[in-house]
Structure 1
Amino acid sequence: MFNWNWKRFGMVAGLSLTLVAAGCGSSDEEGSETNGDSDGGESASEVNYGEEMGYEITGIEAGAGVVGAAESAVEEYENLNGWEVSTSSSGAMATALGEAIENEEPIVVTGWTPHWKFAKYDLKYLEDPKEVFGGEEQIKTMVREGLEEEKPNAYKILDQFSWEAADMESIMLEISNGTDVAEAAQNWIEENQDKVGSWTEGTEKVDGTEVELVYVNWDSEIASTNVIAEVMKEQGFDVTITPLDNGPMWESVAAGEVTGMVAAWLPGTHGDLYEQHKDNLVDLGANLEGAKIGLVVPEYMEVDSIEDLEAAE
């Protein structure tokens, strides 16, 4: 990483010398000689970001759809020959991204929208000409079979739950800045009573009816699940929220072991799991439109497409 910063310094230094020469009335030929100096540094296009990063894409949990898509991208794109996708957690990915940006170092991460990192940092998705990551996604609500008949008020609230990416990202950013998760959810609820009212419209308050919601431990799903849980608590429900890995999350809803989830990313991220379990659960439709997954880099990196990355030597 250290070497990369010196290359950038060399670029700036070389450009400064050229501008000084131009200001003194140097000819184009003289300017070309200055730019051709071996001490003038490398252009951004000559910087091998892959080498600086150890040809590694920083991923999240193994089994996550975006990680699977990134692994497919490594296979599909010839220029990613020799690259690997490292897996850890969404929190570890965010930490690595923040550290890289603080030091203005190159990094490629598995990213998704909505996420607070887009509100905090200047980031961009790399273009995906082969469409390995697919197009826009929806985040959908899934509940167990029989819920509408057994707990109609819970069913209706979950069915009416719908919001926008900006809503989710504002909560995620507040949590990332240190606010307690439940407190951040309550703050949003207090500031968005009209939207919350549309979720509970036509329902009656209950007295301790038990509800269990499951979610994958991503920042986006932490935000959405805590918000809907707090809303249901205000309606008198006894709500439990349980973080699970992707597979067990879907399995628990399909098996009728829990009430439901508001964390189903489709058609891409959880597509295989949906096909496996769709006949044993109830799809209540999208609670958020315009979600997206892909490879994400800081704006200062001089790459715009996955194809701009270089293969390992």
Structure 2
Amino acid sequence: MMKHEKSVIFVAGLSLTLVLAGCSVDDEGEDDDTTHTGENGQADPEEEASGSMDYAEEMDYEIVGIDPGAGIMGNAEQMMEDYDLDEWNLQSSSEAAMISSLEEAIENEEPIVVTGWSPHWKFISHDLKYLDDPELSFGEAEDIHTLVREGFQDDFPEAYEILDNFHWTAGDMEEIMYELNEGVDEFEAAQNWIDENEDVVSSWTEGVDEVDGDPIEIVHGQWETDLSSVSMIALVLEDMGYDVDMTLVEANHMYTAIANGDADAMIGSWLPGTHELYYEQVEDDIEDLGPNMEGEAALGLVVPEYMDIDSIEDLKDEG
């Protein structure tokens, strides 16, 4: 039976205080019926620029951010330089305040630009899109990797096979994160996802023999991304007969624990950028099983789908 975490800290939101490097995902919204077109049937650039400036004035040239020390805020400050957004102000707040502002704007169908990242439950709750980032101020989208200690395959071949097979999407993780935000217990939310995705889970466990109480320790961070994924994979391993111990540690200690053999596995390694420094220090002493989520760990500016802009460049004052 799975043990409770040695140290359980549920953070109601992903503060991302690490130095994150990801980018916005191209997710262009469809034009609505009010889009103005020129003689050739294409959108009139002057009309589009005017519409963008209407948005800017309505938003008082404000981008709603999160905690001032968060890595994404550093990316956002660089973005303002890269795109010459001199008239704009990056307003620091908190994740909760940013979400509150976003939801209020959506309720009133008003324009808003926020700093955003994925996976995040807000993409389940609302129709949102990233603004294209041709300057790559927010970097490239990242993968999330599974790492295990050396010798893990020899000691726990069945668990190794499951973790090696483990692969899911940002949308999968966001379903669990959404329930966490709604106040559902992390294990209940994870079990709900497992019950609704038996075919996916079976693809990880098919042909793997069950065990009888073998102990495994998985380390994880305090963010909702980690909490949702580790709760889910722990239940999967428990169902295969493992006694899973989830241990909450700081990000850098996750890597040293795996390298030193003090823990068996982690499934929340953001690469190649976010955890690059931690990873490089131990990469010769661990085994990297590769991405369990590919190219969907992203940062950028996020707007509601109903806004008729698609790129950060659309925020620039062309006047």
TM-score calculated relative to the size of structure 1: 0.71
**1:180 equivalenced with 2:185 (yes/no):** yes
SS of match in other structure, 1:149:
helix
Partner residue, 1:27: none
Partner residue, 2:66: 59
Within 2, Cα distance between the matches of 1:214 and 1:60? 25
For residue 232 of structure 2, what is the amino acid of its counterpart? V
Within 2, Cα distance between the matches of 1:276 and 1:92? 36
SS of match in other structure, 1:139:
strand
* Aligned residue among 290, 293, 302 for 1:296: 302
SS of match in other structure, 2:85:
helix
The structure-2 alpha-carbon separation of the partners of 1:178 and 1:127, relative to structure 1 and needing over 3 Å to count, comes to same
The structure-2 alpha-carbon separation of the partners of 1:51 and 1:193, relative to structure 1 and needing over 3 Å to count, comes to closer
For residue 79 of structure 1, what is the amino acid of its counterpart? L
**1:45 equivalenced with 2:50 (yes/no):** no
Partner residue, 1:305: 311
The structure-2 alpha-carbon separation of the partners of 1:236 and 1:71, relative to structure 1 and needing over 3 Å to count, comes to farther
Output one character per residue of 1:2-48: Cα deviation in whole Å (capped at 9) or x when no partner.
Answer: xxxxxxxxxxxxx9xxxxxxxxxxxxxxxxxxxxxxxxxx9652343
State the shift of 1:189 in Å.
Answer: 1.5
Q: For the aligned residues, what is the CA RMSD? A: 3.2
Partner residue, 1:70: 76
Larger Rg over CA atoms? 1
Within 1, Cα distance between the matches of 2:182 and 2:196? 18
Gapped regions of structure 1 (runs ≥ 5): 1-14, 16-41
SS of match in other structure, 1:48:
helix
State the shift of 1:95 in Å.
Answer: 4.3
**1:79 equivalenced with 2:64 (yes/no):** no
Within 2, Cα distance between the matches of 1:120 and 1:171? 12
State the shift of 1:170 in Å.
Answer: 2.6
Gapped regions of structure 2 (runs ≥ 5): 1-33, 35-49
**1:171 equivalenced with 2:179 (yes/no):** no
State the shift of 1:296 in Å.
Answer: 1.0
State the shift of 1:148 in Å.
Answer: 1.7
For residue 217 of structure 2, what is the amino acid of its counterpart? E
State the shift of 1:88 in Å.
Answer: 4.1
State the shift of 1:83 in Å.
Answer: 4.0
State the shift of 1:50 in Å.
Answer: 9.0
Within 1, Cα distance between the matches of 2:75 and 2:263? 28
The structure-2 alpha-carbon separation of the partners of 1:250 and 1:98, relative to structure 1 and needing over 3 Å to count, comes to farther
* Aligned residue among 116, 129, 136 for 2:134: 129
Partner residue, 1:269: 274
State the shift of 1:87 in Å.
Answer: 6.5
SS of match in other structure, 1:263:
strand
The structure-2 alpha-carbon separation of the partners of 1:184 and 1:128, relative to structure 1 and needing over 3 Å to count, comes to same
How many residues were matched structurally? 268
Output one character per residue of 1:155-177: Cα deviation in whole Å (capped at 9) or x when no partner.
Answer: 22211111233322332333333
Alignment of 1:155-166 (within 5 A): 155-166=160-171
State the shift of 1:307 in Å.
Answer: 3.0
**1:231 equivalenced with 2:231 (yes/no):** no
TM-score calculated relative to the size of structure 2: 0.70
Within 1, Cα distance between the matches of 2:246 and 2:143? 21
Within 2, Cα distance between the matches of 1:128 and 1:214? 33
CA contact (8 A) 1:58 1:93 kept: yes
CA contact (8 A) 1:115 1:172 kept: yes
Output one character per residue of 1:242-264: Cα deviation in whole Å (capped at 9) or x when no partner.
Answer: 34443343343334332222112
Within 2, Cα distance between the matches of 1:227 and 1:61? 31
CA contact (8 A) 1:141 1:263 kept: yes
CA contact (8 A) 1:50 1:56 kept: no
SS of match in other structure, 1:70:
helix
State the shift of 1:98 in Å.
Answer: 2.7
SS of match in other structure, 2:199:
helix
SS of match in other structure, 1:308:
helix
State the shift of 1:133 in Å.
Answer: 2.2
SS of match in other structure, 1:129:
coil
The structure-2 alpha-carbon separation of the partners of 1:215 and 1:79, relative to structure 1 and needing over 3 Å to count, comes to same
Within 1, Cα distance between the matches of 2:189 and 2:202? 18
Partner residue, 1:26: none
The structure-2 alpha-carbon separation of the partners of 1:170 and 1:51, relative to structure 1 and needing over 3 Å to count, comes to closer
The structure-2 alpha-carbon separation of the partners of 1:139 and 1:74, relative to structure 1 and needing over 3 Å to count, comes to same
For residue 54 of structure 2, what is the amino acid of its counterpart? E
State the shift of 1:126 in Å.
Answer: 1.3
